[in-house]
Amino acid sequence: MQNIGICGAGLIGASWAIGFANAGYKSLVYDNNPDSFKNFESLFDKLIKDLLIINPELDAEKIKLNIKLNCSIEEICKDTVLIQESIIEDLEEKKKIFITLDKLASKNTILASSSSYLLISNISENVVHKQRCINAHPALPPHVVPFVEVCGSLETSSEIIQSALSLYKNANYASIIINKETEGFVLNRLQGALLNEAVRLHEGGYASMDDIDIALKHALGIRWAFMGPFEIMDLNAPEGIKDSFSRYKKGIQNLAKEQNSVPEYSDEYLSSLENEQRKRLAYSDRSDRIEKRNKMIALIRKLKLELGEDIQNG
Ligand SMILES: NC(=O)c1ccc[n+]([C@@H]2O[C@H](COP(=O)([O-])OP(=O)(O)OC[C@H]3O[C@@H](n4cnc5c(N)ncnc54)[C@H](O)[C@@H]3O)[C@@H](O)[C@H]2O)c1
């Protein structure tokens, strides 16, 4: 059994630990705040329930045994094939922890950051062995969302990228490779474009929050669970993708001209957003809604597996 070091046991670290343990790795978990292990333990059964939806035969006890909490930083660095850093999103903190991990980790260990926006070239700036450092950005929550995007800096070796891709694949994650560093990688660039547009439409008075959410969850989202934008365009016109873009490019280009303003996200606007949100979604329901989100994701994954739309197939 191979060991994975999990550095930071918050939302993402805990979920990674369960994802790797479910795939047969031993997750060794370190955090500098002991309270995070209490949270982890209280969350464990709920997160396992999500996995049981995907695979009812799953052995929860075995997964639990594959996770070691309360490890020291030295322990997560010893004989681990990968360290998945998932501490808070703070460049200085990440730079410091990468220097320590690089000093302590065995020489073949891959050092991966879960960071959403910080680039590995900056995080690993003062690391000696930069060639083994990558961004490996998951989607929340990685125990049920089988995705990671891998990106190296100019200093990262191609062997490390290839080893990371095969390791994540072996752990049942659909991994994509980002060929050149770019802030937000692919996932948050796509998500950011959508969020900015949702805010432009809402702030401009074109549609309510409710209706914008409905357009996503009852239309685009249903397709997006199994088809990406390029595949969708291929089916939008009889001759395929070129035909689709030729027919619709003028409309799409016109939109792009209007979609290039940067929303201000002023305090005043964010407060009005919060007020409108609380009228339709109670804050007190939040943990129920998180449970529902994870359960729905697991059900969609189960359906995709049953339909042969497994990550290994595309
Ligand atoms: N939350 C998301 O939707 C999401 C999605 C993808 C990636 N990420 C990325 O994952 C990382 C973690 O995010 P999160 O949402 O789990 O945050 P979080 O606040 O839930 O967890 C961070 C954990 O790191 C620990 N920590 C902080 N500093 C530390 C240090 N110096 N050494 C050891 N442990 C330390 C904290 O005690 C905490 O348990 C961030 O880089 C974030 O950008 C987050």
Per CATH, domain 3-178 is 3.40.1190.20 = no
What mean pLDDT comes out for the span 79-102?
A: 98
CB-facing half-sphere around the CA of 50: CA atoms within 13 A: 25
List, for residues 147-179, the tens digit of each pLDDT value: 999 999 999 999 999 999 999 999 999 999 999
Is the pLDDT at 67 greater than 80? The verdict is yes
The CATH number of 187-281, from 1.20.1090.10, 3.40.30.10, 1.10.1040.10, 2.130.10.10, is: 1.10.1040.10
* Position 275 pLDDT exceeds 90: yes
Separation between Cα atoms, residue 84 and residue 173, nearest integer Å = 14
**Ligand 1 and 201: CB distance under 6 A:** no
- Convert the pLDDT of each residue in 183-224 to its tens digit: 999 999 999 999 999 999 999 999 999 999 999 999 999 999
Q: Given a cut of 80, is residue 314 above it in pLDDT?
A: no
| 178 bridge partner residues | 151
Q: How far is the CA of 219 from the centre of ligand 1 (A)?
A: 32
Does 142 sit behind a cis peptide bond, omega within 30 degrees of 0 on the bond before it?
A: no
The sign of the CA dihedral 34, 123, 91, 175 is negative
Which atom from ligand 1 is nearest to the alpha carbon of 138? 6
Would you say the CB of residue 99 lies under 6 angstroms from ligand 1? Answer: no
Pocket flag, ligand 1, residue 33 (CB < 6 Å)? yes
Q: Whole-number mean pLDDT of the chain?
A: 96
Q: Which two tokens stand for residue 116?
A: 């959403």
Q: Does any ligand 1 atom lie closer than 6 A to the CB of residue 72?
A: no
pLDDT at residue 313 above 70?
no
Are the C-beta atoms of residues 20 and 4 closer than 8 Å to each other? yes
- Residue type at 81? V
CB of 135 sitting under 6 A from ligand 1: no
For residues 22-35, give the mean pLDDT. 97
**pLDDT reported for residue 311:** 80
Q: Is the shortest distance between the CB of 5 and ligand 1 below 6 Å?
A: no
pTM: 0.95
Res. 128 pLDDT band, cuts 50 70 90: very high
Q: How far away, in angstroms, is 114 Cα from ligand 1 center?
A: 8
Q: Which pLDDT band holds residue 310 (cuts at 50, 70, 90)? A: confident
175's enclosing H/E stretch is strand 174-178
CB of 115 within 6 A of ligand 1: the answer is yes
Q: Are the beta carbons of 113 and 98 closer than 8 angstroms?
A: yes
User: What pLDDT score does 312 carry?
Assistant: 66
Q: Is the pLDDT of residue 5 over 60?
A: yes
Share above pLDDT 90 across residues of the chain, in percent, rounded to a whole number: 97
Which ranges in 27-123 belong to alpha helices (H)? 35-54, 60-65, 73-77, 91-104, 120-123
- Any atom of ligand 1 within 6 Å of the Cβ of 125: no
The residue to mutate among 88, 144, 151, having the most atoms of ligand 1 within 8 angstroms of its beta carbon, is: 88
Q: Which residue type is seen at 60? A: A
Domain ranges of the chain: 3-178, 187-281
Centre of ligand 1 to C-alpha 139, Å, is: 13
- Whether the Cβ atoms of residue 188 and residue 118 lie closer than 8 Å to each other: no
Q: Which helix (H) or strand (E) holds 244?
A: helix 241-258
**Predicted local confidence at residue 200, as pLDDT:** 98
